[in-house]
Amino acid sequence: MNDVAAIERDMVDAAKKAEATVINSTFHHFSPYGVSGVVVIQESHLAIHTWPEYGYAAVDVFTCGEMNAWIAFDYLKESFQAKSYSAIEMKRGSVNLLTRNDFDISTMRQKANEWVNPGFYTRNVWFTDKDENQALSLRFTGDVFYDHQSPFQRVRILESYKYGKMLALDDMVMTTENDEFHYHEMISHPAMFMHPNPKNVLVIGGGDGGTIREVLRHKGVEKVTMVEIDGAVIEACKEHLPQIASSFNDPKLTLLVDDGIAFIKNAAPGTYDVILVDGSDPVGPAEGLFSVSFYQNCYNALKSDGVLVAQGESPKFNEKAFCELNYTLQDIFGRDKAPVSLFFVPTYPTGMWSFQYGLKGDIDAIKHLDNSSIDAFVQSEGLRYYNSALHTGSFALPNFVKSLLLK
């Protein structure tokens, strides 16, 4: 009752099943929940208002009598899987009281043509990523390129007006065509440059392919292993987000569709120079990517000088997960070895997001950087977010974030 695209589809299909002629439809998602919409048909209209919090919808099927409205009713009952329902058929108007007006049909047609605005767009559908108290909404075209319930999550590729195509897992924005570089450059290049010579890299998650694309820009890398639990994410992105999923055929890549948590548990100690945890939020399949045992296993799998970087949530949207992850990293890697970098993602709730590090051995987040080779790399690769000044600056935290991270 909160899925605006599915409700619009079912309402339009209900009209068609009843052999109505569909003229247009307009549907609106209210934040944080509720949908209203109308399907205009030659025979009048179908309208709906939903209250997801009650699992309830009110529907009107208004016809001029040349179609069987009950067919539409039965179809909606089925498609909404209604457990209970009530319906009233209401005859409108008192025909004996009506008098027909005479009018000139050709004048009416001409006037109608003047009123029609062919460029007028009526669809107004929104995707909302939210918790109980905050939300970020993106208006999207209503086009759904991929929608599949995998064993782990609902995987969708939708098209937003402002940010292009978007990967959503369950109801959360993962990445969009137009701002993916913020995230993918910042999860990979700071870690790759703070390590003196990263050769063997492990990516856990990252099914859209953006993180491996960035890691593989570093010519010294010899091997990248990527472990993604959900093959549907890879399949969807290869087909619909090819600019992000552009490196799956790289010969240096070993791709495993498998559970990253089990993988790291069984990894040989001291194997990787850099581990990047490109997971989703700590609900569903990614919950284990926020556990103490997972990070202890990552620590063991790193070489004696190694860098771990993990998607660290937001200090403004998910403070609890943000802090708990950092406390875990402080406990495992050491208090001064768990720095946090902040960066900006317009399509994540609040926009303020983090990567959290665990640094092993002599690695430091900023002390040993060679800024001129970083900027030469930035230039030659045409990076759009990361640069040497930003690398250092991203580890400078606002005071309220520093306070949050004090154990």
Going edge to edge, which strands form the sheet with 340-344? Answer: 253-257, 223-228, 200-205, 272-278, 302-311, 352-360, 340-344
The answer to the question of residue 160 lying near ligand SPD (CB under 6 A) is no
Report the distance separating Cα 143 and Cα 380, nearest Å.
36
Binding mask 297-336 for ligand SPD (x = CB under 6 A): --------------x-------------------------
Q: Select which of 278, 331, 364, 370 is catalytic.
A: 278
Q: Cβ closer to ligand SPD: 183 or 299?
A: 183
Q: Cβ closer to ligand SPD: 203 or 365?
A: 203
Binding part of the chain for ligand SPD, among 43-51, 69-77, 114-122, 203-211 by CB under 6 A, reads 203-211
Out of 206, 260, 306, 315, the residue judged to bind ligand SPD by CB under 6 A: 206
- Integer CA distances (angstroms), 56 to 25, 49, 53, 81, 251, in order: 21, 9, 8, 11, 53
Out of 25, 44, 247, 280, the residue judged to bind ligand SPD by CB under 6 A: 280
Residues 20 to 79 in contact with ligand SPD, rule: CB under 6 A: none
Out of 27, 75, 163, 183, the residue judged to bind ligand SPD by CB under 6 A: 183
Out of 146, 290, 348, 355, the residue judged to bind ligand SPD by CB under 6 A: 348
The answer to the question of residue 211 lying near ligand SPD (CB under 6 A) is yes
Report the distance separating Cα 11 and Cα 68, nearest Å.
15
Supply the minimum distance, in Å, between the C-beta of residue 117 and ligand SPD: 39
Binding part of the chain for ligand SPD, among 153-161, 275-283, 334-342, 376-384 by CB under 6 A, reads 275-283
Binding part of the chain for ligand SPD, among 23-31, 205-213, 235-243, 385-393 by CB under 6 A, reads 205-213
Supply the minimum distance, in Å, between the C-beta of residue 172 and ligand SPD: 5
Supply the minimum distance, in Å, between the C-beta of residue 349 and ligand SPD: 7
CA 263 to chain centre: 25
What does residue 304 show for φ and ψ, rounded to 5 degrees?
-65, -30
Supply the minimum distance, in Å, between the C-beta of residue 277 and ligand SPD: 10
The answer to the question of residue 281 lying near ligand SPD (CB under 6 A) is yes
Residue 162 DSSP code: T
What does residue 312 show for φ and ψ, rounded to 5 degrees?
-110, 10
The answer to the question of residue 172 lying near ligand SPD (CB under 6 A) is yes
Residue 68 DSSP code: -
Supply the minimum distance, in Å, between the C-beta of residue 256 and ligand SPD: 17
Supply the minimum distance, in Å, between the C-beta of residue 405 and ligand SPD: 19
Out of 44, 153, 160, 175, the residue judged to bind ligand SPD by CB under 6 A: 175
Question: How many CB atoms are closer than 10 A to CB 368?
Answer: 12
Structure tokens, 154: 């609902």
Report the distance separating Cα 158 and Cα 327, nearest Å.
36
Report the distance separating Cα 308 and Cα 333, nearest Å.
10
Q: Is 170 marked active-site?
A: no
- CB crowding 265-293: b at 16 or more within 10 Å, else e: eebeeebbbbbbbbbbbbeebbeebbeee
Report the distance separating Cα 78 and Cα 32, nearest Å.
26
Q: Cβ closer to ligand SPD: 75 or 353?
A: 353
Q: Is 142 left (phi over 0), alpha (psi -120 to 50) or beta?
A: left
Catalytic positions, please?
Answer: 278
State the residues that interact with ligand SPD by CB under 6 A: 172, 174-175, 183, 206, 208, 210-211, 278, 280-281, 311, 348
